[in-house]
């Protein structure tokens, strides 16, 4: 409940955890619309669910339009998603959920399956030169802040993971899946201040999908979303 008589657009990228058919649902107060693209571009979005009046929080079945048809999605792919919300007066909220191919209902959709708008596009434009510049800057300015880079993203064959610490100490670099389960420990050991470390992540044996790279030190935790493509 943040105000009256306003409109909002909420958008980003959706990363399905598995291949299969998904059914989306939306609830809101007041009117709201849910759009999904066939890829990661806004141009291909279509309206898949809506609320023409208002619902209570968690009220997913007031209108037949609140649920989408079954939509086939692929793990390891990004899909542009957008919500339009119009508030009159009184209470206000909007929420989106989905039914996974397994039949599990996740409402609202967990943040681990979402990427903020612009992040994915920027990641694909990141170059090796940019990565080298970031590492060199951190190395030339020890004592500022820790840095964690991933390139390319999405990746298929191999990904290069780089990190730098402002202070000497122990560090652990790990890879987690979309269910927050540890997949691989990529590095564990001592790191000098300002020393640029590079670790190669081999894609062989990794299912396509969304992952989280996590760097842990004695006083810092950094994370980067990573997408493994087909």
Residues 13, 71: Cα–Cα separation, whole Å: 16
Q: Which residues are registered as beta bridge partners of 10?
A: 83
Q: Tell me which H or E stretch contains 29.
A: strand 20-29
Q: Which single residue is written with the structure tokens 């470390």? A: 197
Whether the model clears a pTM of 0.75, i.e. scores above it, the answer is no
Quote the pLDDT of residue 1. Answer: 57
Residues 39, 13: Cα–Cα separation, whole Å: 9
Residue ranges in the chain modelled with pLDDT below 50: 120-139, 142-143
Quote the pLDDT of residue 66. Answer: 97
Query: How many CB atoms are located within 10 Å of the residue 44 CB?
Result: 13
- Closest Cα to residue 100, out of 207, 210, 18? 18
* Close Cβ partners of 125 (under 8 Å, ≥ 6 residues apart): none
Quote the pLDDT of residue 174. Answer: 92
Quote the pLDDT of residue 219. Answer: 77
Per the document, the length of the chain is: 230
Quote the pLDDT of residue 144. Answer: 56
Quote the pLDDT of residue 134. Answer: 46
Where are the CATH 2.60.120.1560 domain residues in the chain?
6-121
Quote the pLDDT of residue 117. Answer: 79
Quote the pLDDT of residue 129. Answer: 42
Quote the pLDDT of residue 114. Answer: 83
Answer whether CATH 3.40.190.10 is correct for domain 6-121. no
Where are the CATH 2.60.40.2550 domain residues in the chain?
126-228
**DSSP H helical ranges for the chain:** 119-125, 128-140
DSSP, residue by residue, 40-73: S-GGGEEEEEEESSB--TT--SSSGGGBPPPEEE
Q: Which CATH architecture has domain 126-228?
A: Sandwich (2.60)
């Amino acid at each position: 409940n943040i105000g009256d008589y306003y409109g909002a657009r909420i958008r980003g990228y959706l990363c399905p955890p598995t291949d299969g058919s998904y059914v989306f649902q939306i609830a809101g107060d007041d009117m709201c619309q849910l759009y999904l693209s066939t890829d990661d571009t806004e141009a291909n979005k279509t309206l898949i669910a809506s609320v023409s009046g208002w619902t209570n929080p968690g009220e997913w079945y007031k209108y037949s339009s609140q649920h989408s048809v079954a939509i086939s999605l692929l793990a390891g792919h990004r899909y542009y998603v957008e919500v339009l919300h119009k508030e009159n007066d009184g209470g206000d909220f909007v929420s989106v959920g989905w039914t996974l191919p397994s039949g599990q209902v996740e409402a609202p959709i967990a943040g681990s399956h979402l990427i903020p708008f612009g992040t994915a596009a920027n990641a694909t434009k990141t170059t090796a030169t940019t990565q080298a510049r970031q590492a060199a800057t951190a190395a030339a300015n020890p004592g500022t802040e820790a840095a964690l880079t991933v390139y390319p993203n999405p990746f298929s064959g191999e990904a290069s993971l780089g990190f730098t610490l402002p202070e000497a100490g122990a560090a652990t670099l790990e890879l987690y899946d979309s269910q927050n389960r540890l997949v691989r420990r990529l590095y564990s050991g001592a790191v000098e201040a300002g020393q640029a470390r590079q670790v190669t992540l081999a894609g062989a044996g990794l299912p396509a999908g969304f992952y989280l790279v996590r760097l842990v030190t004695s006083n810092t935790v950094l994370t980067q979303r990573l997408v493994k493509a087909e």
